[in-house]
Copies of this chain bind each other. A is one copy, B any other.
Amino acid sequence: MDFSYSEEQQLLQNSVSKFIQQDYDFDRRCKIVNSDIGFSQENWQLFAELGWLMVPFKVEDGGLGGFAVDLMVVMEEFGRGLVVEPFLACAVLSGGLIADGASEAQKRELLGLLIEGQLQLAFAFAEPQSRYNLADITTTAVLDGDSYILNGHKAVVLNGGAADKLLVSVRTSGAQQDCDGITLLLVDTNTAGLHRHEYATVDGHRAAEIKFNNVKVPIANRVGGEGTALPVIGKAIDRATLALCAEAVGAMEKIYKKTVEYTKTREQFGVAIGKFQALQHRMVDMFTEYEQARSVLLMAALKMDANKGVAPKAVSAAKSRIGKAARLIGQEAIQLHGGIGVTEELDVGHFFKRLTTVQYIFGSTDFHTLRFAGH
């Protein structure tokens, strides 16, 4: 057993950490969030240059190794900085699908561009009625000659507005919630009949509603076999879930420490409020939640690496525990900051927003608790 970072991991962490501290302060982030596309192309290029976009991928795919622990290192730092560049949606989630499910030719075509920062991808899986059931798919693709014809509505597609290409989970056979009959298609976002409605999400990211009205997709754009995409999708979502957990752990470390520091300076009734024992014990609870959350994250990352990328139960444990911690730490940070905590002005509120949405992305805390329990 060994809990120390390798030299490479240490270098990676230092590199991302330096970027967050020097180039990603709260003001800059606000400007980026409020910009037209909602993230910085310049930063994205920097991520590519510094090799961070290689992190999710195996060496043979042009990546750094694709270890979950490496991914955790990057995402924890991104969490500390509340990074909005679409690393999770594009590189981890969509990239993961391609790395895992695509043919060698497709990989060659797409992964190189992605790793160079030249290709934005998004994965359109959720639908208005599907909630967290990845198999609940009503978007249909019917084979017509050497093309599929797509019809349907994909909901809250993360990075869906900026994406050059979409990976779309479609139903090619079976009933609405069947596990079989799900296929993955790669769709150019400028294809006729594809409509996007992009909007901001409450945490400063971007998403889109995407509707397909007889959209024609060449059969060559199918990723993997017909009707057998669900396991690949599940694995990619699990991996992205782990990455999201790491981001949350980074964010909650930041926010609990900020809260502790704030209470040392903020005075009420003539005393720093950090001297009030009731608040002290609550901050100890925040600290404890953070430590437990980080432990479960480590556990899941190590299990995933030990099990060649498949560790659904460990991922659900992490998502459940981290969701619980994110809730408590977020709510307490706001409550202990008082009025200033609920304003847009202070960074703490923005950490709170992200710590709220991470509780619901890729399955809520309850969902993952019951999934862990085997229900």
- Inside 8 A of A280's CB, which chain B residues have their CB? 278
Q: Does A257 contact B (CB under 8 A)?
A: no
Q: How far is the CA of A276 from the CA of B281 in the complex (A)?
A: 11
From 73 to 126 in chain A, residues with beta carbon under 8 angstroms from any chain B beta carbon are none
- Inside 8 A of A281's CB, which chain B residues have their CB? 278
Q: Does A277 contact B (CB under 8 A)?
A: yes
Q: C-beta contact mask, A270-288 vs B, less than 8 Å → 1, else 0?
A: 0000001110110000000
Q: Measured between C-beta atoms, what is the minimum distance from A151 to chain B in Å? A: 38
Q: C-beta contact mask, A21-48 vs B, less than 8 Å → 1, else 0?
A: 0000000000000000000000000000
Q: Measured between C-beta atoms, what is the minimum distance from A242 to chain B in Å? A: 31
Q: How far is the CA of A278 from the CA of B276 in the complex (A)?
A: 8
- Inside 8 A of A277's CB, which chain B residues have their CB? 276-278
Q: How far is the CA of A322 from the CA of B205 in the complex (A)?
A: 44
Q: Measured between C-beta atoms, what is the minimum distance from A273 to chain B in Å? A: 11
Q: How far is the CA of A281 from the CA of B335 in the complex (A)?
A: 15
Q: How far is the CA of A280 from the CA of B276 in the complex (A)?
A: 11
Chain B, residue nearest A275 (CB): B277
- Inside 8 A of A278's CB, which chain B residues have their CB? 277-278, 280-281
Q: How far is the CA of A281 from the CA of B278 in the complex (A)?
A: 7
Q: Measured between C-beta atoms, what is the minimum distance from A16 to chain B in Å? A: 38
Q: Measured between C-beta atoms, what is the minimum distance from A263 to chain B in Å? A: 13
- Inside 8 A of A276's CB, which chain B residues have their CB? 277
Q: How far is the CA of A157 from the CA of B116 in the complex (A)?
A: 75
Q: How far is the CA of A278 from the CA of B277 in the complex (A)?
A: 5
From 273 to 329 in chain A, residues with beta carbon under 8 angstroms from any chain B beta carbon are 276-278, 280-281
Q: How far is the CA of A8 from the CA of B280 in the complex (A)?
A: 50
Q: Measured between C-beta atoms, what is the minimum distance from A194 to chain B in Å? A: 43
Q: C-beta contact mask, A330-356 vs B, less than 8 Å → 1, else 0?
A: 000000000000000000000000000
Q: Measured between C-beta atoms, what is the minimum distance from A82 to chain B in Å? A: 31
Q: How far is the CA of A327 from the CA of B16 in the complex (A)?
A: 47
Q: Measured between C-beta atoms, what is the minimum distance from A375 to chain B in Å? A: 14
Chain B, residue nearest A276 (CB): B277
Q: How far is the CA of A159 from the CA of B277 in the complex (A)?
A: 47
Chain B, residue nearest A284 (CB): B278
Q: Measured between C-beta atoms, what is the minimum distance from A277 to chain B in Å? A: 4
Q: Measured between C-beta atoms, what is the minimum distance from A288 to chain B in Å? A: 15
Q: C-beta contact mask, A257-276 vs B, less than 8 Å → 1, else 0?
A: 00000000000000000001
Q: How far is the CA of A278 from the CA of B281 in the complex (A)?
A: 7
Chain B, residue nearest A281 (CB): B278
Chain B, residue nearest A282 (CB): B278
Q: C-beta contact mask, A235-267 vs B, less than 8 Å → 1, else 0?
A: 000000000000000000000000000000000
Pick 6 A–B contacts, CB within 8 A, sort by A: A276-B277, A277-B277, A277-B278, A278-B278, A278-B280, A278-B281
**Which residues from chain A sit less than 8 Å from chain B, CB to CB?**
276-278, 280-281
